[in-house]
Amino acid sequence: MLIIECPYCGPRDQSEFSNGGEAHVKRPDGSQDISDREWAEYVFIRSNPKGLFYERWVHSHGCRKWFNCVRDTSTDEILITYKINEPKPNLKKFKNNIITPSGEPKLGSGNFTVKK
């Protein structure tokens, strides 16, 4: 069972939440004037790192508020949650000791990732 710390309600079971994808994605300036390709990249293209990742979540079966978090995609561990209006934390303050024993790239699913 994964427990997520809602910044508004406190710790709750993962079943109460829905993932909203990558956080801190900047909308392009002058969005009426950008090309279809640039718009498609903004709407559909997201990073898929192995390791620490900024995400948006909503407490859909609770307070229904959106918040951000830092999650380790290789272990599913949520390291910190913070409100939408708060600045994103610096990833350097978190340990990210991921070893990929089979020589996997840093991007991708990484099913066999272990920590030091």
Mean pLDDT score of the chain: 85
Which of 71, 68, 54 lies closest to 7, judged by CA? 68
Q: Which amino acid is at 55?
A: E
Question: Can you tell me the mean pLDDT for 45-67?
Answer: 93
Q: How many domains does the chain have?
A: 1
pLDDT for 110 equals 52
> Residues in the chain, how many?
116
Q: 5-16 pLDDT, tens per residue?
A: 999 999 999 999
Q: How confident is the model at residue 78 (pLDDT cuts 50, 70, 90)?
A: very high
Q: How confident is the model at residue 98 (pLDDT cuts 50, 70, 90)?
A: low
pLDDT for 100 equals 55
CATH at residue 40: 3.30.2270.10
Strands annotated E in 9-88? 10-13, 18-22, 52-58, 66-72, 77-83
Domain that holds residue 28: 3-115
pLDDT for 116 equals 44
pLDDT for 11 equals 97
**CB proximity list for 63: less than 8 A, separation 6 or greater:** 6, 8, 9
In Å, what is the CA distance from 70 to each residue of 33, 53, 75?
A: 33, 5, 12
Q: 15-38 pLDDT, tens per residue?
A: 999 999 999 998 888 778 889 998
Backbone torsions φ then ψ of 91, nearest 5 degrees: -65, -20
